């Protein structure tokens, strides 16, 4: 599932491709990706100009000229692909769910194999309230380690699960939670309220290190993720523990282990993480 670095990479690519363009029409091929009536979506976007493309957590947010937004959650396999004109032949996405056509003839396609992603056009105040329900951005300089520690201290849930809760902190998924916990030396099943102040400081530092590095490499492609140009993310070869079960730890040589809890796999080094 695309996480913060993948969404950020897509946003940066889309800014070059769609900002300033006016929506002529929206064709919805798979209505099940919409979180609102089809007629409402079409009415809310037609004739609107995209003024910016932003990211909130794992969401790609197209800001329109009337202050409303088109919010896209990529789900597990969603992709946002811009084209200078209607794609044809081998370039045509095989699982297009929504096709937005701009007045200059260019096209933006939301392609989603499994259709767990969502698209909706919302008034600005509605989106603001939804955004307020999400946790802080881990890369926001205003997030300091005492705040992170205070929030961790209120929960007995395993710290890996805590990191995946978008109400606690926005944008972190299973890949980068595993990597950050490894760098911070914290076992993924340790209760969140047993993370010390010093460890919370290290965890925030590790989160930022991993997320920034992943953004610099265009995200992580395990299977389906592609950026706005259709390219793969290059961070997979940098991973310390995620997907590395049985491989030697880069620090100590101990075999990386996998444990499943809350229906999700977690990867860790039994020697380096406690």
Active-site positions read: 2-3, 58, 264
**Strand segments (E) across the chain:** 23-28, 50-56, 59-64, 69-73, 78-83, 96-102, 107-112, 118-122, 257-261, 264-268
State how far the Cα of 235 lies from the Cα of 222, in Å rounded to an integer. 10
Q: Which of 193, 153, 137 is nearest to 5 (CA)?
A: 137
Number of Cβ within 10 Å of residue 179's Cβ equals 25
SS3 38: helix
State how far the Cα of 65 lies from the Cα of 236, in Å rounded to an integer. 37
Give the position of tokens 């790609």. 60
Task: Evaluate whether 41 touches 31 at the Cβ level (below 8 Å).
Answer: no
Give the position of tokens 């972190």. 172
Under 8 Å CB-to-CB from 8, ≥6 apart: which residues? Answer: 55, 215, 219
């Amino acid at each position: 599932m695309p996480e913060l670095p993948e969404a950020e990479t897509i946003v940066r690519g889309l800014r070059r491709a769609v900002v300033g363009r006016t929506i002529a029409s929206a064709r919805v091929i798979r209505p099940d990706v919409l979180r609102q009536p089809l007629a409402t979506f079409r009415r809310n976007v037609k004739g609107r100009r995209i003024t910016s493309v932003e990211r909130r957590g794992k969401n790609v947010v197209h800001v329109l000229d009337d202050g409303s937004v088109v919010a896209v959650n990529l789900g597990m396999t969603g992709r946002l692909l811009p084209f200078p004109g209607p794609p044809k032949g081998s370039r045509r996405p095989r699982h297009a769910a929504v096709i937005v056509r701009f007045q200059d003839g260019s096209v933006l396609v939301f392609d989603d194999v499994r259709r767990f992603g969502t698209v909706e056009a919302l008034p600005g105040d509605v989106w603001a309230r939804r955004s307020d329900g999400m946790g802080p951005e881990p890369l926001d300089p205003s997030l300091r380690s005492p705040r992170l520690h205070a929030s961790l201290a209120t929960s007995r849930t395993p710290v890996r699960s805590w990191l995946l809760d978008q109400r606690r902190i926005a944008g972190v998924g299973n890949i980068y939670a595993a990597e950050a916990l490894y760098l911070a030396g914290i076992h993924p099943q340790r209760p969140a309220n047993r993370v010390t102040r010093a460890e919370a400081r290290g965890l925030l530092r590790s989160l930022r290190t991993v997320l920034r590095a992943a953004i610099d490499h265009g995200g992580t492609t395990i299977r389906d993720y592609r950026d706005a140009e259709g390219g793969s993310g290059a961070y997979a070869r940098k991973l310390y523990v995620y997907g590395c079960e049985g491989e030697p730890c880069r620090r100590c040589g101990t075999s990386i282990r996998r444990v499943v809890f809350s229906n999700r796999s977690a990867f860790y080094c039994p020697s380096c993480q406690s």
